[in-house]
Amino acid sequence: DIVMTQSPDSLAVSLGERATINCKSSQSVLYSSNNKNYLAWYQQKPGQPPKVLIYWASTRESGVPDRFSGSGSGTDFTLTISSLQAEDVAVYYCQQYYSTPQYTFGQGTKLEIK
Amino acid sequence: QVQLQESGPGLVKPSETLSLTCTVSGGSITNYYWIWIRQPAGKGLEWIGRMYSSGSTNYNPSLKSRVTVSVDTSTNQFSLRLSSVTAADTALYYCARDCSGVRCPIGIFDYWGQGILVTVSS
C-alpha cells in the first residue's frame, strides 16, 4: 500500500491568513505516461461527509473557491488556503488514486481558527 | 442532483455479519463505480471496496476475506456485507460514487452519503 502522511496533525491560523497543509506519499504518485500526479484533497466539516476539493494535485473541483490551491509532484504535495475564512474550519485529507483501486488517505489535518 | 443514502442496522453483535444498503437517487447507477468507505470515530478514512455497475468488484486486501459488495441496478441500490465483525469494525460507514472518469478521474469520490454509524457490541 502507498502510505500517505500529512503534516501537521493540527493547525491554527488567523482569519485572513494563509494555511498550508503538507502531504507526503511513500512512493511517487506521478504517472510518467501522462505526467499527472494522482493526488486529491478532501475537506470534511463536522458532521458531514468528505468533499473533494482538488484532484490531479492542482485541479480544483467545480465550485471550489479559488483561495484553495494544490501544488507538488512525485511524493510531496501541499494544500494552500490563501486567506482563511471561518467556513474553512474542517479536517483536510489527502488521497492517492495512483494505486488503483487500493486507494489510501492521509491521517487528516485539523484546521482551526487562531 | 445525485444523492446517496445509507441504511441498515446501527448495532451488530460480534462474529455476526454487518449488512448495509446504499440507495442512489437523482441519477443512474450504471456506468459508475460505487464505493464503501469507513471512518472509525476520531480517525481517518479507509477504503473498503468498490463495484462497477456491471458487477466487477475490488476490495481492500485487509478486508477482502470478509467483504462482499453487490449492486442491484433495477432498484438503484448497492450493498455491503462484512462478515465476522469485531469491535474494530465499529465505524461510520459511507457509500460514495466514484467519478469513474466521466467528469473527473477514476478514484475520485464526488458524491457521498451522510454516513451510518455501525457499532459492534454484544
Express each pLDDT in B98-117 by its tens digit: 998 888 999 999 999 999 99
Shortest alpha-carbon distance between residue B88 and chain A (Å): 17
- Residue B89 cell numbers, joined: 469494525
Please name the member of A55, A103, A105 whose beta carbon is closest to the beta carbon of B104: A55
- pLDDT on residue B73: 86
Contact B24, B78 (CB under 8 A): yes
Cα gap B89→B79, rounded to integer Å: 17
Identify the pLDDT of residue B55: 85
- Whether residue B47 lies within 8 A of chain A, CB to CB, comes out as yes
Mean pLDDT of chain A: 97
The torsion defined by the Cα of A48, B49, A3 and B92, in degrees rounded to 10, comes to: 30
Hey, of A52, A64, A95, which one would you mutate to test binding to chain B, going by the most B CBs within 10 A of its CB?
A: A52
The pLDDT of residue A20 is above 90 = yes
Q: Is the pLDDT of residue A31 over 90?
A: yes
Q: What is the pLDDT of residue B97?
A: 97
Nearest CA in chain B to A36: B105
A19 sits in the region (left: phi over 0; alpha: psi -120 to 50; else beta) called beta
pLDDT digits (tens, 9 = 90+) for B74-85: 899 999 999 999
**Of the candidates A57, A54, A80, A78, which has an alpha carbon nearest to the alpha carbon of residue A67?**
A80
Matching residue, cell 512525485: A74
The CA-atom distances, in angstroms, between A79 and each of A9, A108, B58, B78 are 14, 12, 29, 33
Residue with C-alpha cell 481492500? B60
pLDDT confidence bin for A14, thresholds 50/70/90: very high
pLDDT of residue A27: 97
Percent with pLDDT over 90 in chain A = 98
Kindly state whether B52 is in contact with chain A, defined as any CB-CB distance less than 8 angstroms. no
Provide the Cα torsion B44, B50, B53, B54; round to 10°.
170
The mean per-residue pLDDT over the stretch A69-86 comes to 98
pLDDT for A109 beyond 90: yes
Distance CA B52, CA A33 (A): 25
Candidates B45, B108, B110; nearest CB to A105: B45
Cis check: omega of the bond before B9, within 30 degrees of 0: no
Strand pairing report for A10-13 and A109-113: parallel
Chain segment B41-99, per-residue pLDDT in tens? 989 999 999 999 888 999 999 999 999 999 988 899 999 999 999 999 999 999 999 99
What distance in Å separates the CA atoms of residue A15 and residue A84, rounded to the nearest whole number? Answer: 5
